[in-house]
A and B are shown apart, each in its own frame.
Chain A
């Protein structure tokens, strides 16, 4: 059997320390497998969160060797450095315990950015036909597959500097709605994202796009929002 991995895991809340565990290696082992092994075999008090294990639900994101990642789809052999892996909770979110963060700020900001669909009146009367080649539909398609894992939010330096900033996930969601022809409150969405800590606070560092596990580019969506907000303001529609 090969040498076990040295796995350092954050224990505690905002205050705490890294504890070290030895975990046997397996073929195709994921970071989530390491955490699960520790919890099942070494220390049942370890708190962490997961559900689907296949990269759909977005609940298992953690900081792995300093980088926010979805742990269920992150293979250990891609991230282990010198036989060691350091696993911490996501940045920019309150730590509940160990590896579990309070995701409420992420979802609250989704609401602040008015990231919810508002049916237009016509939508209630008839089913809208939105062809796949429609340019707005293409913009939506490019941004819609967010799994809400919080990796972009944890990777964003602007969120770290300005905790009130709406963040990449919420703004990306708003971008899909202003491009949705079935949505009836484009102005409401634009007003929400043009607020003090909204899309104009983004520096286009693109850390969100760099880290997004499903390959979205929230930075691009935010740039689109800046453009639409400006156009709306010039036309007096904001």
Chain B
């Protein structure tokens, strides 16, 4: 792909912009749920009551998958000799793996 590094840079910064508020929201939700002493059943009842929860967490998963895979590719390129198409495909595979695992969790609360 032409200008791959530039567009990966844009995707990395863009996904970070999405992640920053979502991480804070996620931490807030954890503190709220734990502090309020909600049971698993109560939590699920709330997340299943609105499409907003799976939508927000779906976005979170997508941003984390993109951000994590780009970062991992950079780290591998800096700390090993692995370069080229095979590494790019492996990073793409890592995006799909994170998406699969994350969206599986999202469907469980939807």
Chain A residues within CB distance 8 Å of chain B: 158, 161-162, 194-196, 198, 200-201, 226, 229-230, 233, 238
Grouping DSSP codes into helix (H, G, I), strand (E, B) and loop, the A interface class, with mixed when no group exceeds half, is helix
Measured in the bound complex, the distance between the Cα atoms of B8 and A230 in whole Å is 11
Interface flag for B85 (CB, 8 Å): no
- B77, A226: Cβ atoms under 8 Å? no
Q: Which of B1-20 contact A (CB under 8 A)?
A: 3-6, 8-10
Q: What is the distance, in angstroms, from A127's C-beta to the closest C-beta of chain B?
A: 36
Task: Assign chain B's interface to a size class.
Answer: 10 to 19
Measured in the bound complex, the distance between the Cα atoms of B79 and A196 in whole Å is 16
Q: What is the distance, in angstroms, from A231's C-beta to the closest C-beta of chain B?
A: 11
- B79, A200: Cβ atoms under 8 Å? no
Measured in the bound complex, the distance between the Cα atoms of B78 and A233 in whole Å is 26
Measured in the bound complex, the distance between the Cα atoms of B79 and A233 in whole Å is 29
- B5, A201: Cβ atoms under 8 Å? yes
Q: Which of B64-82 contact A (CB under 8 A)?
A: 77-79
Selected from B6, B10, B79, the residue in CB contact (under 8 A) with A161 is B79
Measured in the bound complex, the distance between the Cα atoms of B74 and A196 in whole Å is 12
User: Which residues of A sit under 8 angstroms from B6, Cβ to Cβ?
Assistant: 194, 200, 229-230, 233, 238
User: Which residues of A sit under 8 angstroms from B78, Cβ to Cβ?
Assistant: 158, 161-162
The verdict on A196 contacting B5 (CB below 8 Å), with A161-B78, A162-B78 known, is yes
User: Which residues of A sit under 8 angstroms from B77, Cβ to Cβ?
Assistant: 162
- B3, A238: Cβ atoms under 8 Å? yes
